Amino acid sequence: MAKKSLLEDLNIEKIPAHIAIIMDGNGRWAKKRALPRVIGHEYGVKSVKNITEAAAEIGVKFLTLYTFSTENWNRPKFEVNAIMTLLVRTIRKEVATLQKNNIRLKTIGDIKALPADAYNQILEAIELTKDNTRMDLILALNYSARWDIVQATQALSEKVKEGIISSSDINEELISRALHTGKFPEPELLIRTSGEYRLSNFMLWEMAYGEFYFTDAYWPEFDKECLYKAIFDYQKRERRFGKTSEQIQENTNV
Ligand code: FPP
């Protein structure tokens, strides 16, 4: 008898609209196998494909992947180049798959500072997929949450300086909208792989009420069943947004 998939246990009505993932552990996955780190990244791309496909299949509307942080520039030059090459190659190869599956590519982060070939390839794929409606695949590239908060603050200060808004108009909504992430709803669920329990400068503002899920699986090992397990775990939780459990029960009973 075929092994039961956790997909059967999911409540399809309660799939998080936005899932964000810190894809971690490519290097350690490779090291465990005495392989170079970049091979770990290559296998990481397989997980990107599997998880993008699985997310779209179950009705996730936004999938954000922490692909390259502002801090990742500090890695050895060889590794940074390898990740950029992989990025360009993958987007070039997979843009047709995105089209076929009605998935729109988006980014957050300062992509202008990426190498020119990566920047151009990304812009081309964004343009080509811009009318797709099934799911947004959002790559966080040259992104960090503090960078985003700084650029949002600068943008709002400019508006104050130009007299478009006054400083007392600045509220949570304006800040949220000025962030690169402001075009998307906040993630309900953030997953981090590889047994690390940190945010690593990712979505600091957006995760104020979001749920966290940590797994020991390295990113190249994170498959569709792992995603279903994370969502299953999320669905068992009660999201209270500062209210009491009784208030939440009352609201769901009306
Ligand atoms: C984390 O593992 C991985 C990265 C920082 C790079 C992820 C990039 C890819 C999978 C390639 C491009 C993908 C797309 C979206 C097309 P790590 O190197 O931090 O692992 P470690 O913590 O074990 O060293």
For residue 188 the two structure tokens come to: 């309900």
Cβ of 44 below 6 Å from ligand 1: yes
* Mean pLDDT confidence for 38-58: 98
Mean pLDDT of 15-32: 98
> Residue 235: which domain range?
15-144+185-253
217 pocket-lining for ligand 1 (C-beta < 6 Å): no
Q: Does 216 qualify as catalytic in the annotation?
A: no
Determine the number of helices (DSSP H) and then strands (DSSP E) in the chain.
8, 6
pLDDT, one tens digit per residue, over 171-223 is 999 999 999 999 999 999 999 999 999 999 999 999 999 999 999 999 999 99
pLDDT at position 238, please?
72
In sequence order, which ranges of 101-169 are alpha helices (DSSP H)?
116-128, 145-161
pLDDT for 83 equals: 97
CATH number reported for the structural domain that contains residue 49 in this entry: 3.40.1180.10
Is the pLDDT at 252 greater than 70? The verdict is: no
| pLDDT band per the 50, 70, 90 thresholds, residue 254 | very low
Q: Where are the beta strands (DSSP E) in 154-237?
A: 189-192, 211-214
Let me know if residue 43 belongs to a domain: yes
Contact 216, 194 (CB under 8 A): yes
Our count of domains for the chain comes to 1
Has residue 168 been placed in a domain? no
Q: Is 27 in the pocket of ligand 1 (CB under 6 A)?
A: yes
Return the axis-axis angle of helices 116-128 and 77-100, rounded to nearest 10°: 10
Residue of 9, 50, 72, 81 with catalytic role: 72
Q: Tell me if 2 is assigned to some domain.
A: no
- Mention every residue, 6+ apart, whose C-beta is less than 8 A from residue 55: 19, 63, 135, 227
With 0.85 as the threshold, say if the pTM is over it.
yes
pLDDT digits (tens, 9 = 90+) for 83-119: 999 999 999 999 999 999 999 999 999 999 999 999 9
